Amino acid sequence: MPTFLFNSIVFGPVRSRRLGVSLGINLLPLSRKVCSFNCIYCECGWTSLGGDISTALPSRSSVYEALKKKLSEMKEQGNPPDVITYAGNGEPTLHPDFASIIDDSLILRNEFFPKAKISVLSNGSTLHHRNVREALKKVDMNILKLDSVIPATVRRLNQPRGTIDLARFEKQVKDFEGRFIIQTLFVRGEYRGETIDNTTPEELDAWLEAIARLRPQSVMIYTIDRDTPVGSNLRKVPAEELRAIAGRVEALGIKTSVSG
């Protein structure tokens, strides 16, 4: 099935299901996806493995100039973004200058659109780096992926490149003192002869227990909306089921949004 890559540093603004009018920032190469996960549902396709990516990454100055130019144009047009979002072709926190780029973005945001929020979509795999955690503390919307807390499901669904220690992830997330958002994609299907379903009672009970321990400021629940690398082998979870899951989270006293 067709997937796509973002072919510029700054893209959009686009109407995001979860964020509103979102101006996207891609810190990864324009010609390949670079990520520490290889999620089977990713709209950007499969993760490229191996090779030196350092020369393909946009420089800090390139990101600054591209963002400044776009924000200036939007200011002239009277077209404010709701959010400036770091996402793109993979995991944004893998960029070696990620922390400095966030500082630059905050300066530009304050200059052009002080009411806009800065958001980062991350899989949390680099939280062991203190500079990444400190940078994420500065943004308005620190959005962390948590599709499952059952290791076998994480391996099948997210296919991390290394070992994912969920206990360590929880400990690192506590450093944010509640200033983070959990984002979870629920999906069903088959992949390589194995059933994929992170909505089973076992999955949901374990996930809800983790949410209760972590106490995020909010939770974003959604399902697939675009083509995936494995095509029709994956299926949406119906909106009414997503809303039922959201109700269980809200019963914990945690604000929850649903995108079906």
Mean pLDDT of the chain: 93
State mean pLDDT over 51-66: 84
CB 143 within 8 A of CB 122: yes
Cα 197 from Cα 194, distance rounded (Å): 10
What's this model's pTM, rounded to 2 decimal places? 0.94
pLDDT cut 90: percent of the chain above it: 82
CB 221 within 8 A of CB 246: yes
CA distances 227 to 4, 169, 173, 231, Å, are: 9, 29, 31, 6
Confidence label for 53 from pLDDT (cuts 50, 70 and 90)? low
Segment 9-34, tens digit of pLDDT: 999 988 877 778 899 999 999 888 99
Cα 184 from Cα 258, distance rounded (Å): 10
In this structure, CATH architecture of domain 10-259: Alpha-Beta Barrel (3.20)
Confidence label for 48 from pLDDT (cuts 50, 70 and 90)? confident
Q: Assess whether pLDDT exceeds 80 at residue 51.
A: no
Determine the pLDDT at residue 1: 45
First-to-last C-alpha distance (Å) of the chain: 21
Paired tokens of 242 = 């997503």
Cα 244 from Cα 221, distance rounded (Å): 11
pLDDT cut 70: percent of the chain above it: 96
Paired tokens of 42 = 């990713």
The closest of 48, 39, 50, 8 to 26, measured between CA atoms, is 8
Segment 203-244, tens digit of pLDDT: 999 999 999 999 999 999 999 988 899 888 999 999 999 999
Segment 120-167, tens digit of pLDDT: 999 999 999 999 999 999 999 999 999 999 999 999 999 998 888 889
Q: In what side-by-side order are the strands of the sheet with 234-235?
A: 194-197, 188-191, 234-235
CA distances 2 to 8, 186, 197, Å, are: 19, 21, 23
Handedness of CA 92, 96, 100, 105 (dihedral sign): negative
Segment 102-127, tens digit of pLDDT: 999 999 999 999 999 999 999 999 99
Determine the pLDDT at residue 54: 63
- Residue found under tokens 């962390």: 144
